[in-house]
Amino acid sequence: CSEDFLDRAPISQQNSNNFYKTAEDMKNALTAVYGSLQYGGQYYSSIHVIGDMRSDNTEITNPNAGADLQAVDNFTNVAVNSIGNNTWNANYQGIQAANIVIEKIQAVNMDQNLKARYVGEAKFLRALMYFNLVRIFGDVPLVVTVINNPLQGYEYGRESVANVYSQIISDLTEAEESLPFTYGAADIGRATKGAAMALLGKVHLTLKNYPEAAQKLKELIDASGQTNYQILPQYASIFGAANQNNAESIFEVQFKSSSSGEGSPFTNQFAPIGSGGAVVSVGNPLGQNIPTADMNNAYEEDDLRKDVSMRTSYVLNGNTVNHNYVVKYSGTPAANLDSDNNWIVLRYADVLLMYAEALNEQGYVADGPAFDYLNQIRNRAGLPSKTSANADPNLSVPNQAAFRLAVEQERRVELAFEGHRWFDLIRTDRALDLLSAKGMQPHMSIFPIPQSQIDINPTKISQNPNY
Amino acid sequence: TSKAQVKSIDEVFLKLEKSNYTLAQFFRETENKTDFKFFYTDQAIKTSENVVLISNSGSVEDYLLQIAKQTDLSFKQVNNTISVIVNTDKQKARVKALEIIPITITGTIRDDLGDPLPGVTVMVEGTSIGTVTDIDGVYTIDANEGQTLVFSFLGFQKERRVVGTASIIDLTLRKEESDLDEFVVVGYGMQQKKDITGSVSSMGARQIEDQPIISLDQAMIAQMAGVQVTQATGAPGGGASVRIRGAGSLTAGNEPLYVVDGFPVTNDFDQRNNPLNTINPNDIADIQVLKDASATAIYGSRGSNGVVLITTKSGKSGVSKIDFSVSTGIQQVEKQLDVLNATEFARYINEARNNAWVNSGPGRSASDPNSARLNNVMYLLPEQFSNPESLGEGTNWQDAIFRTAMMSNYQLNFSGGNDKTKYFISGGYLDQEGIIINSDLKRYSFRVNVESKMNERVKVGANITPSYTFSNQSLAEGNWQGGGIIQSAITAGPHLTPYDENGNYTKITGQGIGTSEVDNPVKIANEYFHQQSTLRLLGTAFAEINIIDNLNFKTLVGADMRSFREDIFSSSIINPNSVNPTKPATGTNTTSETRNWLSEFTLSYAKTIEKHTFDVVAGYTIQQEQFDFNRINGTNFPNDEIKTMNAAGLITNALSTKEEWSLISYLARLNYNFDNRYLLTATVRRDGSSRFGEDNRWGVFPSVSLGWRLSEENFMKDVRWISELRLRTSYGLTGNNFITNYGAIGLTGPENYPFGSGSGTVNNGVRLTNIPNSGLGWERNKQLDIGLEFGLLDDRFYLSFDYYNKRTSDLLLNVPVPTLTGYSTALQNIGEIQNKGFEFTLTSRNLVKAFKWTTDFNFSTNDIKVLALGTDGSPIISRQATSASAPTHITQIGSAPGSFFGYNVIGVYQNQQDIDNSAVIMNGNGTIQSRPGQLKFEDVNGDGVINAADRTVLGSPFPDFTYGMTNTFAYKNIDFSFTLQGVQGFEVLNAARRYYGNYAGSYNVLSSASNGWKSETDQGDGVSPMIDRNFNAYAGSNVVNNITSLFVEDGSFLRIRNITLGYTLPSSLLNRLKVANARVNFTVQNAFTFTKYEGFNPEVSAQGGSPLVPGVDAGGYPLARSFMFGLNFGF
């Protein structure tokens, strides 16, 4: 009785003890896991800073931008860096939210299918976050249970990359089993079976498990009857607020303007500094993710994708200003940093190119299926097919090594400014070749562990080599 | 007379039950059946055998004669006493009746004032012969020559007189000043002062009554060692911060626990809405401050900051009284700051612009006319200041906002009772105007204390205290940008006036001369609307049942209900920091209701077995509180007329929350006393609190203390001049639970996300906003106390000395945690603070004859140091809200918590060579920015460059020592007393100097800050830098936005806190006036403060003195000096 008297649950706020009791509670908790994708340390900022700006695709030209952003761009980032810090923190924040769903839902009396689906969604999201963490930091602490006490936080050290990946694969495998290929209109944006398969394919590809990668990606391609995924006829119709969650899209981070805190920042972030209202009519241009001259040159002549992806000049007060900038996320924000544009994490073109890559890695087959998938993407862009022996040396892919480069090139332009390039170059061990000119050294394929996390638990958390 | 009542032993006959008795049996039976009492020693009758009486009826004398024959005993009757004497030399036994009654003594007993004292007991020492004085103080008694008369009366010193030949003995009894035998309230019981082994300070009603104060915390100023009371605000109803033996906590509060008539009152203490101000100090009988663990551990998890026990007045049996008192008077601001007048201000503004112009580039001269200068207000000499002398004195804005304010306090008490029932009923009305215009407080307070014996075994009682407090608050404190009236009045241009010729407020912003947009302080004071009201009902009821002898059961139930309402309206015409005359009006309405319930059950047992005296108490208490809170913010009011929220066109925020907490406790105490020499007190309390984590919900708080009354030892008995010598020591554990109600629980918050076709629909997401901490517990305070009590010459001089060492560990801190938990910080028990010091109290009755002089002196030191912090020990750097952007305080291991933090000024750069040889400020590309005339900072790390790494500790807000002294003089009917309050060795961060001492010529400033460096040969006052309107002249670490040592001042002060002159009307006059007693008095409060501090009041603490950012003066409400005249009648 005295214990009851002392049990004073918050009246005006729900809490960890009395929440997580019903299916509705769990739905809300799961929504919060998705919500963490919008954090600055996840898809709001970190992914494009790391995925594109650190690579040769884009750079930061805003002289007033934070030194931390510039450091990531030019390989001078150290252990004290807000991008690294935010990325670490935001992903673990999301992982903790996912762990809560996965653990607390077990005791909830609810529809078993729905329960399995919620767990599948949470595991997909947890896998996605660990995939980003492990690719950025290498060995990372592997937390898969709910932390109930601050002291528990000190028990975790860094887990080997291999162990983290086996958790990712296990999570994705379970997610694949329990998720549907499609949702009703109200649930569009949730993780699907296709998303789990695509991500699993990408994980295997990253691990150089080519047969498994190829098999999983092929399964996904073969399931097109159920998934309805397709390569849209027009590249332009993949992007923009009006084309969200289209048939080519597999998983997108959802944003919505004019709804207090759910809008996306990209339209403002990617507009050139000093462009006034010429590029983005509402809010401030922030000059991030500015395509490099090298990126500009990477597009083949007549590539229909270039104009959809980037521009090289804008007109301000009647004067033409020559300046590259990304237009994949253009539009009119409701307010500064408040756009409708989603961030595409996985799309079908990526799947086809990954499949082509996986096939090629298992063995070069002149003008085999790998060529078909590669050319499917090229043809949509208005470009001629590449073949094993083409009169035009630019279109000739005579061997396995050449095919690798062809895929690399195609991925660069097809998936430009979608946060892939850095991870692609790391996966294919090409980063140092291309980026040492920019300052990259061998140890920089992974980021330094945030100093704050080492300081707080030095016995368990160590720094990456050479940082 | 007594003589007539005494019968001789041969006149008294009795019939015995039997004929065979032991002597003891016989004596007992005789005593039972007659008025005689036998006086004998055990030794005398032990040697005797049974006696056989021949007959069982006869006179007492007959029996005694028979006994004398059978034994070695003789008997002698003196009055009703029969002395039994052993015949040492085998002489013949004697039985003698009524040997001698030679003298009948009579006399009159009076008190110090010469009034007769009825009811004084007069005894013949060594006998049971006695009488009492009659209504005229007259007694008559018979005694032998050589016997001693003892005169005693409760509350007066005992007197002895040896009977000689005189038959008249008149006497004046002196008031009992030693209170060692007095019972005082301790937690859950009473104890005699001489038996207390803990460290307790106390003060009585006498020390409260003559002070014109409105709440009891203010009454405690300078009264008790180890109790530092800081009255940081003079706002009507404003409270004071009370620190008992330093400050042990960083986040969980340092205010003591207040217990009013057994009810632990929980409060959110701050200086603007002080809940203690609802308790009428005139109703208080005494205050006990429990300081060491022995005394406080009985309050367990709430005891670590000390406990203040407040006992209210009660009636006395047999005396029905009506007391009426009124005091009324005026208050004025204690001090005004010395700022520039209009002429000086104009010169200062011109100098700032001339220097800015000269410093702006080569070849520029102060004599250049405006036409030759760049068109910038930093350089242009304002037109209206071209002839400074013509401006004269101008406006003293301080005169404009301060006033002579009235204060009146009325109190009517009814008290009385009989042997069954006692009552005390009071009504009080306080009406205080504030010394800043448009601020005031009214309090209506009532009290009913009753207590009744229902029968021999059951006593019941109740204390009920309704009160209503209403105040108009002023926007006194804070920066001028937010409309802070004090800062605005200091910094407003003296060449401007409050009202224009039409009587409208002058718009003093938008002058266009490069001065800051300080708004008209008179307008703010008059037009800012801020009302607070509190309706409170605090009541307790108890029943005490005497189950068997010495065993008592007591139950007490209580409730504290508070209903609070606050309305704030910031009129559209109040618009500081803007050139615009108006802004949209904003309003806030806050209401809250607090309901606190207490039930308490205690069982106590007391027993003396030979030399062993002990009492035990065991108890169970439960307490809970519910708190409802509503707040509405709104704007878009159609005009400034209707100030309530219904008129707001737009509600910008609305909040409605509920909270609650509960506490269950088990407690026990043992007091043991052997032969009045060896004392032991052991207490334990077990608390269960809803605030803490479920794995750490229960805590046990034990303490033990030992005392040794050396003065009771045989070897000390002969040392007559030592009346009391007692050593005591204690050690124990207490806790602090003042954290948020739900700090241990993981709370949820929104984390939404859009799903769905098209642009989607926002779905509600819910995430955990903090990491639960099931192990979260109270802060632990371990305290050692060693004390000495020393009374000389019948306690005419009484010293008390204490050493204490308090270590507070497991501090409740929000500290960083590994973020892999999903959170960056968590509330944890980490960190340790030590407070240690000495306390010394002296009460000295210097003169005790017709002219009386008593001195009460107390002195305390406290040394505070942080011993551990967080997981990695990194310092906590904090910013007090009124600071621009720079941090103001640092809490680091090895220093006092909340030490001031910034740049240490070591001088002014005199010339280029000085710069070349000194550490300098550089800008980003390495160019040296330091210039002659600018402040030179200490290069703490010695790297030749002044930057953020050179910030250092600039001072501590904690004093080295505090002291208080009260001297009381009395001669016949006149009494006079004065109280001094001293606080020494602490610093104040005078943050408002950022404005009124900033050398930039954008505000009016203190005169002391206006004489800046001009050249190497004319260095001004030698400490101030060059005055320069161009802020950029202070690049890098400029003096405006950074905290420097120039802002940190010595706050040490000595204050004449209270002077009281009283006259008690003589009884001759009283009889004619038909009143029982009457007194008039005149009191001056805060008569004078001796200090070097330049602000209004060195006792400062903006933001209620939060432990991480204490000691900041942001222009608080100054203290008032009050002159009060009081009248007091009893009927």
- Nearest-CA distance A242 → chain B (Å): 7
SS percent in chain B: helix, strand, coil, step 5 = 15, 45, 40
Q: Do A12 and B658 touch (CB under 8 A)?
A: yes
Tell me whether residue B1104 is in a domain.
no
Among B308, B303, B305, CA closest to B699: B303
* B755 in contact with chain A, both atoms CB, cutoff 8 A: yes
Between β-strands B37-39 and B81-86, what pairing exists: parallel, antiparallel or unpaired?
Answer: parallel
- Burial level of B943, CB count in 10 A (0-12/13-18/19+)? exposed
CATH assignment of the domain containing B137: 2.60.40.1120
Provide the edge-to-edge strand list for the sheet that holds B889-891: B876-878, B889-891, B899-902, B952-955
What is the reported pLDDT for B269? Answer: 43
- Closest chain B residue to A19 measured between Cα atoms? B748
Q: Low-confidence residues of chain B, pLDDT below 70?
A: 1-6, 46-49, 54, 79, 88-102, 113, 155, 165, 175-181, 267-275, 317-319, 884, 923-926, 1031-1041, 1101-1105
Q: Do B772 and A148 touch (CB under 8 A)?
A: yes
Tell me whether residue B492 is in a domain.
no
Tell me whether residue B89 is in a domain.
yes
Q: Is the ipTM of this complex over 0.90?
A: yes
Among A205, A189, A186, A208, CA closest to A197: A205
> Which residues are bridge partners to B779 per DSSP?
B736
* Contacts of B1010 by beta carbon, 8 Å cutoff, 6+ apart: B340, B344, B348, B1024, B1027
Test mutation, A12, A137, A152, A341, chain B, max B CBs within 10 A: A12
Tell me whether residue B85 is in a domain.
yes
Angle at A322 between CA A320 and CA A323, to 5 degrees: 130
Q: Is-contact B988 B1048, C-beta < 8 A?
A: yes
* Helices vs. strands in chain A: H and E counts, helices first: 19, 6
Q: Is B702 helix (H, G, I), strand (E, B) or coil?
A: strand
Whether residues B152 and B82 fall in one domain: no
Q: Do B757 and A245 touch (CB under 8 A)?
A: yes
Tally of CB atoms within 10 A around B67: 23
In angstroms, the CA B538 to CA B561 distance is 6
Q: Is-contact B1010 B999, C-beta < 8 A?
A: no
- Residue at B1046: amino acid letter: L
Q: Do B657 and A38 touch (CB under 8 A)?
A: no
Angle at B485 between CA B1003 and CA B1051, to 5 degrees: 80
Q: Do B818 and A453 touch (CB under 8 A)?
A: yes
A3: left (phi over 0), alpha (psi -120 to 50) or beta: alpha
Q: Do A150 and B766 touch (CB under 8 A)?
A: no
Whether residues B44 and B110 fall in one domain: no
Q: In residues, how long is chain B?
A: 1131
What is the reported pLDDT for B92? Answer: 59
Boundary (domain end) residue, out of B172, B201, B218: B172
Whether residues B114 and B86 fall in one domain: no
In angstroms, the CA B331 to CA B267 distance is 29
What are the chain A neighbours of B660 within 8 Å (beta carbons)?
8, 11
Whether residues B77 and B109 fall in one domain: no
Q: How far is CA A297 from the centre of its chain?
A: 25
> Which residues are bridge partners to B978 per DSSP?
B967, B1059
- Nearest-CA distance B598 → chain A (Å): 13
What is the reported pLDDT for A157? Answer: 95
Q: Is-contact A239 A328, C-beta < 8 A?
A: yes
Interface of A with B in 188-227 (CB under 8 A): 188-190
Boundary (domain end) residue, out of B172, B187, B202: B172
What are the chain A neighbours of B757 within 8 Å (beta carbons)?
185-186, 188, 245
* A86 in contact with chain B, both atoms CB, cutoff 8 A: no
What are the chain A neighbours of B756 within 8 Å (beta carbons)?
185-189
What is the reported pLDDT for A186? Answer: 94
Q: Which domains does chain A have, with CATH numbers?
A: 15-255+420-456 (1.25.40.390), 270-327 (no CATH)
- Closest chain B residue to A152 measured between Cα atoms? B821
* Helices vs. strands in chain B: H and E counts, helices first: 15, 61
Test mutation, B753, B770, B771, B815, chain A, max A CBs within 10 A: B753
What are the chain A neighbours of B624 within 8 Å (beta carbons)?
5
* B731 in contact with chain A, both atoms CB, cutoff 8 A: no
Q: Do A11 and B774 touch (CB under 8 A)?
A: no
Q: Is-contact B749 B217, C-beta < 8 A?
A: no
* A31 in contact with chain B, both atoms CB, cutoff 8 A: yes
Q: Do A28 and B764 touch (CB under 8 A)?
A: yes
Among B1036, B1038, B1020, CA closest to B926: B1036
What are the chain A neighbours of B758 within 8 Å (beta carbons)?
244
Q: Do A16 and B817 touch (CB under 8 A)?
A: no
Whether residues B92 and B117 fall in one domain: no
Q: In residues, how long is chain A?
A: 467
To 10 degrees, the CA torsion angle through A292, A295, A297, A299?
-150
What are the chain B neighbours of A257 within 8 Å (beta carbons)?
759
What is the reported pLDDT for B1? Answer: 33
- Closest chain B residue to A245 measured between Cα atoms? B757
DSSP assignment of B1057-1101: EEEEEEEEPPHHHHHHHT-SEEEEEEEEEEEEEEE---SS-SS--
Q: Do A8 and B762 touch (CB under 8 A)?
A: no
Tell me whether residue B608 is in a domain.
no
Boundary (domain end) residue, out of B96, B125, B141: B96
Whether residues B60 and B10 fall in one domain: yes
Give the tokens for residue B623.
Answer: 């307490």
> Given B746, B752, B826, which is nearest A262 (Cβ)?
B752
Q: Do A19 and B748 touch (CB under 8 A)?
A: yes
Q: Is-contact B487 B456, C-beta < 8 A?
A: no
Domain count, chain B: 2
What is the reported pLDDT for B961? Answer: 94
What is the reported pLDDT for B3? Answer: 41
Q: Do A149 and B758 touch (CB under 8 A)?
A: no
What is the reported pLDDT for B4? Answer: 40
Q: Do A15 and B745 touch (CB under 8 A)?
A: yes
Give the tokens for residue A36.
Answer: 């963490």
Among B211, B15, B64, B149, CA closest to B1086: B211
Give the tokens for residue B282.
Answer: 């005139």
In angstroms, the CA B176 to CA B156 distance is 4
Tell me whether residue B28 is in a domain.
yes
What are the chain B neighbours of A147 within 8 Å (beta carbons)?
771, 821-822
- Nearest-CA distance A14 → chain B (Å): 6
> What residue numbers bound the domain in which B137 lies?
103-172
> Which residues are bridge partners to B660 per DSSP?
B626
What are the chain B neighbours of A34 within 8 Å (beta carbons)?
753, 755, 765
> Given B688, B757, B822, which is nearest A97 (Cβ)?
B822
What are the chain A neighbours of B625 within 8 Å (beta carbons)?
none
In angstroms, the CA B869 to CA B814 distance is 11
Give the tokens for residue B782.
Answer: 């371990």
In angstroms, the CA B932 to CA B1015 distance is 8
CA distances from B907 to B348, B988, B1046 (A): 21, 20, 10
> Given B690, B762, B820, which is nearest A92 (Cβ)?
B820
Tell me whether residue B148 is in a domain.
yes
* Contacts of B961 by beta carbon, 8 Å cutoff, 6+ apart: B859, B860, B861, B862, B984, B985
DSSP assignment of B16-49: -S-SEE-HHHHHHHHHHHSS-EEE--HHHHHS--
Q: How many CA atoms lie within 13 A of B99 on its CB side?
A: 14
* Contacts of B431 by beta carbon, 8 Å cutoff, 6+ apart: B406, B407, B408, B409, B440, B441, B442
DSSP assignment of B816-854: E--GGGS-SEEEEE--EEEEEEEEEEEEEEEEESSEEEE
- Alpha helices (H) in B497-585, listed in sequence order: 521-527
- Closest chain A residue to B740 measured between Cα atoms? A10
- Nearest-CA distance B947 → chain A (Å): 19
Q: Is B943 helix (H, G, I), strand (E, B) or coil?
A: coil
Give the tokens for residue B23.
Answer: 């002597």
CA end-to-end span of chain B, whole Å?
33
Among A50, A72, A52, A43, CA closest to A413: A52
Whether residues B29 and B110 fall in one domain: no
A97-133: string of b/e by CB count within 10 Å (b at 16+)?
bbbbbbbbbeeeeeeeeebebbbbbbbbbbbbbbbbb
pLDDT tens for chain A, residues 1 to 467: 567 888 888 888 888 888 999 999 999 999 999 999 999 999 999 999 999 999 999 998 776 667 788 889 989 888 888 899 999 999 999 999 999 999 999 999 999 999 999 999 999 999 999 999 999 999 999 999 999 888 889 999 999 999 999 999 999 999 999 999 999 999 999 999 999 999 999 999 999 999 999 999 999 999 988 999 999 999 999 999 999 999 999 999 999 998 778 999 999 999 998 888 899 999 889 889 999 999 999 999 999 999 999 999 999 888 999 999 999 999 999 999 999 999 999 999 999 999 999 999 999 999 999 999 999 999 999 999 999 999 999 999 999 999 999 999 999 999 999 999 999 999 999 999 999 999 999 999 999 999 889 988 888 999 999 88
* A451 in contact with chain B, both atoms CB, cutoff 8 A: no
Give the tokens for residue B541.
Answer: 């009821």
- Alpha helices (H) in B210-361, listed in sequence order: 216-219, 293-296, 342-359
CA distances from B144 to B125, B130, B165, B760 (A): 11, 13, 10, 111
Angle at B21 between CA B16 and CA B23, to 5 degrees: 110
Q: Do B871 and A456 touch (CB under 8 A)?
A: yes
* Contacts of B369 by beta carbon, 8 Å cutoff, 6+ apart: none
* B606 in contact with chain A, both atoms CB, cutoff 8 A: no
> Given B663, B755, B766, which is nearest A32 (Cβ)?
B766
Between β-strands B130-132 and B103-110, what pairing exists: parallel, antiparallel or unpaired?
Answer: unpaired
* A18 in contact with chain B, both atoms CB, cutoff 8 A: no
What is the reported pLDDT for A195? Answer: 97
In angstroms, the CA B996 to CA B336 distance is 14
- Nearest-CA distance A262 → chain B (Å): 7
Interface of A with B in 234-293 (CB under 8 A): 241, 244-245, 254-257, 259, 261-262
Whether residues B33 and B82 fall in one domain: yes
pLDDT tens digits, residue range B799-820? 999 999 999 999 888 888 899 9
Tell me whether residue B936 is in a domain.
no
SS3 for A75-92 is CCCCCCCHHHHHHHHHHH
Q: Do A11 and B660 touch (CB under 8 A)?
A: yes
Sign for the pseudo-dihedral over CA of A96, A97, A100, A102: negative
In angstroms, the CA A410 to CA A380 distance is 12
- Closest chain B residue to A149 measured between Cα atoms? B773
H/E stretch holding A202 reads helix A193-206
DSSP assignment of B391-431: G-S---HHHHHB--EEEEEEEEEEEEE-SSEEEEEEEEEEE
Test mutation, B766, B814, B830, B925, chain A, max A CBs within 10 A: B766
In angstroms, the CA B359 to CA B1033 distance is 8
Among B171, B160, B151, CA closest to B111: B171
